[in-house]
A and B are shown apart, each in its own frame.
Chain A
Amino acid sequence: MILMEDVHKTYPNGVTALNGINVDIKQGEFVYIVGHSGAGKSTFIKLIYREEKPTKGNIVINDIELSKMKERKVPYLRREIGVVFQDFKLLPRLTVYENVAYALEVIEETPKGIRTRVMEVLEEVGLKNKARFLPAELSGGEQQRVSIARAIVNRPRIVIADEPTGNLDPETSWGIMKTFEEINDKGTTIIMATHSKEIVNTIKNRVIAIEDGVIVRDEQRGEYGYEV
């Protein structure tokens, strides 16, 4: 599913973010990526949806070796991967509905297909009645749900979340986590970078800890393991 072999990443400015990562994540897993700021979590995540390319090593996603992937094939890889960010990255001028529909428009889905699927997903994340709202009219938690809806609307096999609860209060965060769990229950792989000790220690899942660009711990049903 996701396989990394001896992956190194050094940025052009000389900063080494990853220094020999080996990991194997199976379809349907829920994985937390933990570690201090600057440990290499974001780089790890960016390598998966090929925002960044490794300086050395092999990455295989859905049986495709990324290093051998042609540049023009990258968009098709990304259609298999939904991404959720801490800052939501919604388009402020578009309504909730349009923000989600956007992901389908881009892959040239039919208008009818878009309508059905968007409403379906909005129901899934509990925002069906806010379809016509603008992002600014929603709470932070609701905005994050919109971005989750957008990430899953084209039924990706992998959802990546980079600190999805980072900007949200604890109560809202639990709601968001519940949504992720539901998505995971349907067989979607979830990879989530997080700083939330409570979440990791309460909703038990595989934990991969990254320090100084290497994996220092990889446990099924692990703990957060850091003092906050």
Chain B
Amino acid sequence: MKFRTFTRHLREGTKNIFRNGWMTIASIGAVTTTLILVGVFLAIVLNLNEFAKNIESDVEIKVLVDLTTEEDDVIALGDQLRQIEGVENVYFSSNDEELESLTNSLGEEGRAWELFEQDNPLNHAYVVKAETPQETERIAEEIMEFDHIYNVTFGQDIVDKLFEFNNYARIIGLVLIAALVLTAVFLISNTIKITIIARSTEISIQKLVGATNGFIRWPFFVEGLLLGVLGSIIPIAVVLFGYHYIAENLASQINISFVEILEFNPFAWYLSLGILLIGAAIGVWGSVMSVRKFLKV
């Protein structure tokens, strides 16, 4: 395509946006509403994903060593653990460290445990981390067969429930997003259809004088793209300001260490880019859908 023709299509497409007045506003409104909802859902789903991933990757196996075990055997057990297939790393936590972390985690009440500092009743422990969370269970079972093991624990139930919840959340979120996107596509294609009907004489004349389908289609393509992009402005603003607010204020109030939302930068920017792309795609899809029918001779 010649550059001149390209600028003509841009001009025509832009003109249509203004020419179609209320219909333009209606379809931009439809895209805006859709994209705000899509943005919110995406933010939630992606955060849930991240949250689940964090917890998944935090799943560790705690191996308590039998109290009567000799020091050499404790060290040997560590080597044995490291050799299990699928183990990422093994961390030794002596009974003193265990007591300290117990005392700390209980805060004021934990002071009672300080009495035991001289006569520590706790076990030495190994913290084993699997390469992938799915392997945790197999590794834990393998460890239980070893000698000098007092107990093996890991948060399998929680992990399973979380996996499940996360899967549902993901599916529901995606289904909702797909439904919203389809609605917006439908609305845009209708808007453009109306503008096409209004311009049917123009199109029939274009065909008559030998315009190719591509030539006729381009301005509508541009129009759809613009509708989508214009419709994504408010949602992007909502996402940027809203997420900024949540990241700054709410997150510090919730103050649960393991619930951590994705950082504003870059997440909110990526999300905005995503919204822009979805908006553009909705617009183009809608316009292509509606023009196609009219070009069949």
Contacts and interface: CB of A to CB of B under 8 A. Distances in A.
Given A51-B297, A108-B2, A78 B205 contact: no
Interface in B169-206: 201-202, 204-206
B297 A71 contact: yes
A218 B193 CA distance: 45
A154 B213 contact: no
Interface in A37-94: 49-51, 71-72, 74-79, 83, 89, 91
A72 B215 CA distance: 12
Contact of A75 (B2, B202, B207): B207
Chain A interface helix/strand/loop/mixed: helix
Contacts of B208: 49, 78, 83, 89
Contacts of A150: 209
A216 interface: no
Interface in B193-240: 201-202, 204-213, 215
**Residue among A102, A108, A154 with most chain B CB within 10 A:** A108
B297 A74 contact: yes
A143 to B, nearest CB: 14
Interface in A114-147: none
Nearest to A99: B205
B163 to A, nearest CB: 52
B8 A105 contact: yes
Given A75-B210, A78-B207, A150-B209, A106 B215 contact: yes
Contacts of B5: 108
B201 to A, nearest CB: 6
Nearest to A71: B297
Nearest to B8: A105
Contacts of B209: 78-79, 102-103, 106-107, 150, 154
A75 B217 CA distance: 14
A110 B8 CA distance: 12
B4 A111 contact: yes
**Interface residue tally on A, bucketed by range:** 20 to 34
A108 B4 CA distance: 8
A89 B205 CA distance: 7
A49 B210 CA distance: 10
A106 B1 CA distance: 12
A75 B212 contact: yes
Contacts of B202: 91
A91 B212 contact: no
A209 B208 CA distance: 25
A76 B205 contact: no
B201 A106 contact: no
A72 B213 contact: yes
Nearest to A89: B205
Given A51-B297, A71-B297, A91 B210 contact: no
Contact of B201 (A49, A89, A105): A89
Given A89-B201, A89-B205, A91-B202, A106 B4 contact: no
Contacts of A79: 209-210
Contact of A106 (B2, B204, B206, B297): B206
Nearest to B1: A108
A79 B205 CA distance: 12
Contacts of B297: 50-51, 71, 74
Nearest to A107: B210
A49 to B, nearest CB: 7
Contact of B212 (A49, A72, A83, A110): A72
A107 B202 CA distance: 15
B107 to A, nearest CB: 77
Given A91-B202, A102-B205, A106-B215, A78 B2 contact: no
Interface string A149-162: 01000100000000
A211 B201 CA distance: 30
B237 to A, nearest CB: 35
A141 B199 CA distance: 25
Nearest to B5: A108
Nearest 10 CB-CB pairs, A to B? A79-B210, A103-B209, A78-B210, A106-B211, A75-B210, A75-B212, A106-B209, A83-B208, A108-B5, A89-B205
14 contacts: A49-B208, A50-B297, A51-B297, A75-B213, A78-B207, A78-B210, A83-B208, A91-B202, A102-B206, A103-B209, A107-B210, A110-B4, A111-B4, A154-B209
Interface of B: 2, 4-5, 8, 201-202, 204-213, 215, 297
Given A51-B297, A75-B210, 18 more contacts: A50-B297, A71-B297, A72-B212, A75-B207, A75-B211, A75-B213, A79-B209, A89-B205, A102-B205, A102-B206, A102-B209, A106-B209, A106-B215, A107-B209, A107-B211, A108-B4, A108-B5, A154-B210
